[in-house]
Amino acid sequence: MTMKYLLLAISMFITLNNCTSPALHGGDSPQLGTSLAGNQTIMSKNGTFALGFFSPRGTKNWYVGIRYAGVSPKVIVWVANRDNPVRGIVGVLKFSSDGRLRLFDRKGRSVWSPDICVKGWWAVLKESGNFIMMGHSHNKSVIVWESFDYPGDTWLPGMKMWKGMKLTSWKSSVDPATWLFSVGIDMSPRKTQMVMAYNSSVPYWSSGEWTIKSYNDTTAALNKLPTTLETEETQVWREGNDVRWSSS
């Protein structure tokens, strides 16, 4: 009888191990068949960014987000399921063997996925904060999906903005849901300018149309800017081609 129960226990152990995905936790490049849950994270190569679950204080909602690592309080720069939180208990992010990346709640319901048609061979969290999925095309590795193409409320260095893309505000400091204020490139086919809008339809600020002349004029003005310009309330200074400012 003892041997019978021992064999049964070994059989159950093997079955459970076969049903559980290896953890994504640790490196910057999750592989097929791995998963992320709880306080596990994916770290960019030099530890600048981390991808993992977070729950805003005072709520029971869980989100998968990218944040600056080692910064307290947490600075979230991108949220995968911002409009569809996992409620109550933290979910599981799976990079399944078929190449699909999906977020599930604890009941096994799919909560978020980049795109039903997107399948990758591997993924990586870059030092820029961009989370990308890689696939193959004509024997070459190509990007099939990247978080930079789906910005939230934060514009990170290296992120490109195209027509149709926009940054949208959080609903509140504890609710990352898409809310009323946005900034993006004017959708008018005859204009190229940045526009801030209310409710995605009522513009209340624009940068003015970008043209070669306006670009050259701006560049010339920046080149004439002194190294430091200071008033009682604001300090402006130039570092190479960058203009930086601070306000007291």
Buried b vs exposed e over 174-189: b needs ≥16 C-beta within 10 Å?
Answer: eebbeeeebbbbbeee
Question: Residue 111 above 90 pLDDT?
Answer: yes
182-189: average pLDDT = 84
**Rounded to whole angstroms, what are the CA distances from 84 to 1, 98, 175, 177, 178?**
51, 24, 11, 8, 10
Point out the least confidently predicted range of 22-31, 60-69, 217-226.
Answer: 217-226
Q: How far apart are CA 185 and CA 26, in angstroms?
A: 37
Edge-to-edge order in the sheet of strand 34-37 = 34-37, 92-95, 101-104, 110-112
What does the pLDDT read at residue 28? 77
150-176: average pLDDT = 93
Closest CA to 51 of 63, 41, 40: 41
Among residues of the chain, what percentage have pLDDT more than 70?
73
For 57-74, write each residue's pLDDT tens digit. Answer: 999 999 999 999 989 999
Question: Residue 97 above 60 pLDDT?
Answer: yes
* Cβ-proximal residues to 195 (8 Å cutoff; 6+ apart), any chain: 183, 184, 185, 186, 203, 205, 206, 207
Q: How far is CA 107 from the centre of its chain?
A: 25
Where residue 231 falls among pLDDT bands split at 50, 70, 90?
very low
Q: How far apart are CA 194 and CA 231, in angstroms?
A: 28
Entry pTM:
0.75
Q: How far apart are CA 185 and CA 191, in angstroms?
A: 9
Where residue 194 falls among pLDDT bands split at 50, 70, 90?
confident
Q: How far apart are CA 139 and CA 114, in angstroms?
A: 23
Where residue 29 falls among pLDDT bands split at 50, 70, 90?
confident
Encoding tokens for residue 141?
Answer: 């590795």
Where residue 236 falls among pLDDT bands split at 50, 70, 90?
very low
Question: Residue 153 above 50 pLDDT?
Answer: yes
Encoding tokens for residue 122?
Answer: 């591997």
